[in-house]
């Protein structure tokens, strides 16, 4: 039946030309396995790229800890034996495949390497594991006869991929691809002795020189090799791209990165706005949008307080913190001023796991402030959603932060970020301006506990004495574009630059 004349037909979305094929290679990807922001990016960026006419395959290890419901959906795609070590030991490579929302996921199967409960154990285990994974990923592309335009590698676990591509795979079909490596966190590099990495990777002597993998006298660095051999390097914010070329943030690779700076680009992360959507989020007590946030946030706050055993009072300001509990995240600053954060009108909710010293310190503060402080020492996706919705402000005082996703999610949920001006925090949170009332959050620059406290006090002053200004920040934050749209376009531009 022909459409009625009055019905407006949505114009078919025109995809940008030309089409590009990309293989993502990395060690974690939501919802299969996620320990941090890398897992979010490996999920969301491929999906955003498919909307920009990219054909994306994501190659991951098939860890035993991937939930059974996903394991059940994988189909067998093939298998082969691959030599790996210097003495030519052969290893089984299985390929299991799954398609979800237009993205193809290929899982590299090998029980010897991937049968642990966690993706990461310790370097002794992880170095052989990711030598195997990097080589198996390229061998799998050849095996499947799927040669992408671009191979996009993520963090040190995929560091050897660009190295393999230009050495042991140089005469194979996959070498037609160009490579990009993205630095999600420079702190972790995959460093071990030359003999160990050379044994497990089977790579030739010449890659272990100072321009490529060598660190110091006898060390080899997988990430350093990947940065040297890739055609382009990206990192997850423009500020972090500058910072890592300095001694303070460079993690001993600042000179290497300065040498390669012509190929280094900063592209800020987005978040998946379907997963992080407060108006459809089934985990929330009261879903809301920018029009209803001021009312419904209170309902979410009361529900959060009830769930966590805090005093139920919508007038208290609730400060949230959702983080790995490690030195990177500025927790020594939080620890140092913790008693001063509390003033009778403030509650603090911490969700995280990590270093024992922080877990114990936050548990202690909970024990002496029952009803006011909650230290929830766990990894809990649903509680994370409820904190983003129920808290008024989110603390992110990081020592360094390549991009940071928690401040983006917070803004999307109308929770005002209080951040240190570093890396992606600096690029995504515009400081509140008391003269114009503009800005997205409260910020401080030097890494000092007193400055964190000062930023919290400034935030509380606006919250308690100029609520209409606070509310304007909340609404502005919810309306800020934190999606992948723009950033995915920037990645596509780089892909086209490599393969016009
Ligand atoms: P990083 O990758 O350095 O850990 P990011 O800010 O880039 O930090 O990403 C952290 C991601 O992990 C966010 O999606 C955040 O919500 C989530 N997250 C961190 N800790 C927890 C936790 N304990 N429970 C649930 N989610 C968490």
Helices and strands (DSSP H and E) totals, the chain: 18, 18
Residue nearest to atom 20 of ligand 1 (CA): 323
What are residue 232's DSSP bridge partners?
180
Share of the chain above pLDDT 90, in %: 94
pLDDT digits (tens, 9 = 90+) for 348-373: 999 999 999 999 999 999 999 999 99
Q: How confident is the model over 75-118, as pLDDT tens digits?
A: 999 999 999 999 999 999 999 999 999 899 999 999 999 987 78
pLDDT exceeds cutoff 50 at 4: no
pLDDT in tens, 319-354: 999 999 999 999 999 999 999 999 999 999 999 999
Compute CA distances 140 → 19, 108, 145, whole Å. Answer: 22, 8, 8
Match 């929830």 to its residue by tokens: 376
- For 317-343, b/e burial (b = at least 16 CB within 10 A) is bbbbbbbbbbebbbbebbeebbeebee
Closest among 444, 429, 249, 463 to 337, alpha carbons compared? 444
What percent of the residues of the chain are helix, what percent strand, and what percent coil, each to the nearest 5?
40, 20, 40
Backbone angles phi, psi at 465, to 5 degrees: -120, -15
Asked whether residue 446 carries a pLDDT value surpassing 70, the answer given is yes
Ligand 1 binding residues, C-beta < 6 A:
36-37, 40, 322-324, 351-353, 379-381, 384, 403-406, 409
Ligand 1 pocket mutation, candidates 37, 374, 397, criterion most atoms within 8 A of CB: 37
Q: Which residue has the higher pLDDT, 11 or 159?
A: 159
Q: Average pLDDT of the chain?
A: 96
- Whether the per-residue pLDDT at 405 is higher than 50: the answer is yes
For the CA of 396, the closest atom of ligand 1 is: 6
Query: How confident is the model over 154-173, as a mean pLDDT?
Result: 98
What percentage of residues in the chain have a pLDDT greater than 70?
97
Pairing of strands 75-83, 90-100: antiparallel
Q: pLDDT band at residue 484, thresholds of 50, 70 and 90?
A: very high
pLDDT value at residue 36: 86
First to last CA, the chain: 44
């Amino acid at each position: 039946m022909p459409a009625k004349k009055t019905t407006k037909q949505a114009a078919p979305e025109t995809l940008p030309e030309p089409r590009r094929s990309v293989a993502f290679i990395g060690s974690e990807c939501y919802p299969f396995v996620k320990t941090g922001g890398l897992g979010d990016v490996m999920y969301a960026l491929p999906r955003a790229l498919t909307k920009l006419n990219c054909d994306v395959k994501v190659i991951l290890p098939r860890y035993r800890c991937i939930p059974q419901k996903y394991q059940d959906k994988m189909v067998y795609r093939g298998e082969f034996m691959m030599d790996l070590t210097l003495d030519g030991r052969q290893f089984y490579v299985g390929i299991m495949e799954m398609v979800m929302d237009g993205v193809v996921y290929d899982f590299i199967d090998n029980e010897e390497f991937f049968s642990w409960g966690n993706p990461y154990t310790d370097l002794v285990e992880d170095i052989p594991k990711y030598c195997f994974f990097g080589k198996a990923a390229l061998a799998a592309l050849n095996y499947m006869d799927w040669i992408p335009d671009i191979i996009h590698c993520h963090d040190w676990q995929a560091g050897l991929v660009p190295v393999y591509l230009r050495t042991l795979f140089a005469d194979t079909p996959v070498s037609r691809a160009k490579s990009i490596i993205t630095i999600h966190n420079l702190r972790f590099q995959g460093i071990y002795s030359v003999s160990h990495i050379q044994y497990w990777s089977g790579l030739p002597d010449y890659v272990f020189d100072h321009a490529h993998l060598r660190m110091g006298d006898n060390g080899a660095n997988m990430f350093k090799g990947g940065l040297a051999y890739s055609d382009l390097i990206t990192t997850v914010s423009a500020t972090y791209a500058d910072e890592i070329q300095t001694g303070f943030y460079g993690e001993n690779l600042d000179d290497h990165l300065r040498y390669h700076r012509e190929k280094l680009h900063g592209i800020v992360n987005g978040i998946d706005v379907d997963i992080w959507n407060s108006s459809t989020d089934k985990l929330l007590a009261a879903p809301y949008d920018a029009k209803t946030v001021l009312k419904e946030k209170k309902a979410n706050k009361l529900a959060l307080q009830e769930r966590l055993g805090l005093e139920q009072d919508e007038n208290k300001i609730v400060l949230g913190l959702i983080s790995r509990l490690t030195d990177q995240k500025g927790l020594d600053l939080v620890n140092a001023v913790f008693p001063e954060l509390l003033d009778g009108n403030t509650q603090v909710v911490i969700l995280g796991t990590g270093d024992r010293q922080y877990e114990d310190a936050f548990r202690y503060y909970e024990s002496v402030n029952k009803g006011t402080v909650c230290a929830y020492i766990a990894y809990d996706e649903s509680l994370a959603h409820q904190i983003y919705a129920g808290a008024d402000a989110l603390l992110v005082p990081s020592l360094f932060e390549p991009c940071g996703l928690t401040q983006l999610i917070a803004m999307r949920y109308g929770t005002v970020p209080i951040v240190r001006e570093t890396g992606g925090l600096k690029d995504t949170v515009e400081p509140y301006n008391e003269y114009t009332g503009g800005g997205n959050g409260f910020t401080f620059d030097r890494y000092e506990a007193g400055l964190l406290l000062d930023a919290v006090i400034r935030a509380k002053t606006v919250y308690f004495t100029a609520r209409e200004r606070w509310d304007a920040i909340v609404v502005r934050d919810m309306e800020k574009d934190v999606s992948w749209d723009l950033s995915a376009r920037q990645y596509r531009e780089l892909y086209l630059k490599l393969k016009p």
